[in-house]
Structure 1
Amino acid sequence: MPAGVLIRRIGPKDAGALNALAERDNHFDEDPATEPSGALTPDGARDFLADPSVLFWLAEAGGQVVGFLHCYVQRRRSSGPWAELLLMEMGTHADWRRRGIGRAMVAAMEVWMKESAVAEVWVPANTYAVGFYRKCGFVADEGAILVKELH
């Protein structure tokens, strides 16, 4: 990872950073020509980050966000581990790719998992990202992730 890059988990006091990212998160996607997702209200951003099921990390360099990773903690209803993670979204700024930032963010997530006794993480990976996740140790599971959008 490049010198000067810091990875940190953010919380409610970082709502401004979350909203600043949302205004330009298209630069972290495969196709930066897409529209950015857009910011939440300040209260909405604080509430999102205050949710105990939300985990959000930023990679920063020189005061700028160069990567992010967003997970949800999912409690289990059966015996065994108390929870698992769903890795919802992750991105590295186009100008900062292939420098180890993505792997470092996954490593930060794994540290949290070990400290929190969470043994499993799932990722519904876009096709272009599957190779990255495999290099990070993810493997294909049986079954498929299906999506249904209500209109």
Structure 2
Amino acid sequence: MTGLQAGVAIRRLGPEDAELFNRLSEADNLFDEDPSGAPSGALTPDGARAFLADPSVLFWVAESGPLTVGFLHCIVQRRRTAGPWAELLLMEMGVHTEWRRQGVGTALVSTMELWMAGHDVLEVWVPANTYAVGFYLKSGFTPDEGAILVKQLH
């Protein structure tokens, strides 16, 4: 994790971290490219515990003392074909605006890759926002064919 500022630690959250998770959810707009948007908002305490207890959820935070300075959220997706048993979908990642370009994002991706190596997961997908594509390319991701499409039911 070269380049990561001393005193920054990365850890995976579990159900016992529901309060921290909800505090982050109330301020996660500060980790986005445009912090003027609304935060995601907290879950109920039971909902946050259930989310973090789900074995398909991987949620890491980067912390400097009591401050959360970054996070990375993945979903483990089982495969239906022969080969590796699963792949990851990198759902979201953010670094606090005051902590960018200090190695936090790179360290979070490295932590995810260490988890992948230890669990025989060989592939990760990311539906990257346009402003984040350069970071992911620099981190070793490559473009894939197709497009990500979204449909919301109302």
Does residue 52 of structure 2 align to residue 43 of structure 1? no
Query: Which letter does structure 1 place at the counterpart of 2:23?
Result: A
- Stretches of 4+ aligned residues off by more than 2 angstroms: none
Q: What is the rounded CA distance, in whole Å, between the counterparts of 1:69 and 1:117 in structure 2?
A: 19
Q: CA deviation at 1:143?
A: 1.2
Give 1:1-151 correspondences, 5 Å limit. Answer: 1-151=4-154
The gaps in structure 2 that reach 5 residues or longer are none
Tell me which amino acid in the other structure corresponds to 1:85. L
Note the C-alpha offset of 1:80. Answer: 0.4
CA distance in 1, matches of 2:70, 2:58: 14
For 1:48 and 1:58, the matched residues in 2 are separated by 15
Which 5+ residue runs of structure 1 have no aligned equivalent? Answer: none
| Cα shift readout 1:39-98 (whole Å, capped 9, x = no counterpart) | 101000000000010000000002110000000000001100000000000000000000
Q: Percent identity?
A: 71
1:32 Cα deviation after fit: 0.7
- Residue 79 of structure 1 aligns with an amino acid whose one-letter code is A
Displacement of 1:14 in angstroms is: 0.6
